[in-house]
Amino acid sequence: MVTRSFKKELSSLEAIFGFVDDFVDAYRLDDIHKFALHLAVEELFVNMVKHSPGARNDVGISLDKDTRLLRVRLVDTEVEHFDPRDVPSPQIHHDLEHREPGGLGLFLVKRYFDSIDYDYHEGTSTVTLVKTLEK
């Protein structure tokens, strides 16, 4: 497992993508997994920045891979409870003018990963994603 902390600001995204790319290279992951990691980490990190603007602590990001599983974990501290699993799926079959904005990013993350777990304890929010790898 590799873990790094990043300043909770959008300008950290370049360093975050570099961190993800180093992990992808080290574990020789294919482009689909690289895309899924980029999408998930960006979506969750940006949501943490946007929805907890007053919390200025760094966000911890952990990436892990074993023979069958790929795991992503983001930890944010001194924040309010926000369970990304509770975000309703967007109405993708409706015309754009009849849709409520938001939710598409998390919808896509949920499509690329097999499970999403959320834990909240004493102001610390932890989101964990797991994807089963094909052999």
Dig out the tokens for 66 from the structure. 């074993």
Q: Which pLDDT does position 47 carry in this prediction?
A: 87
What does the pLDDT read at residue 39?
Answer: 92
pLDDT 10s digits, 39-50: 999 999 998 898
Q: Residue ranges per domain, the chain?
A: 2-132
Nearest-5° Cα angle at 10, 62 to 42: 45
Query: How far is Cα 8 from Cα 58, in angstroms, rounded to an integer?
Result: 5
With a pLDDT cut of 70, the percent of the chain lying above it is: 84
User: How many other C-beta atoms can be found within 10 angstroms of the C-beta atom of residue 106?
Assistant: 21
For the cut 90, the answer to whether the pLDDT of residue 131 exceeds it is yes
What CATH architecture is 2-132? 2-Layer Sandwich (3.30)
Residue length, the chain?
A: 135
Tokens of 69: 């599983």
Query: Residue 118 in contact with residue 127, Cβ under 8 Å?
Result: yes
Per-residue pLDDT reduced to its tens digit, 27-79? 999 999 999 999 999 999 998 898 776 767 899 999 999 989 999 999 999 99
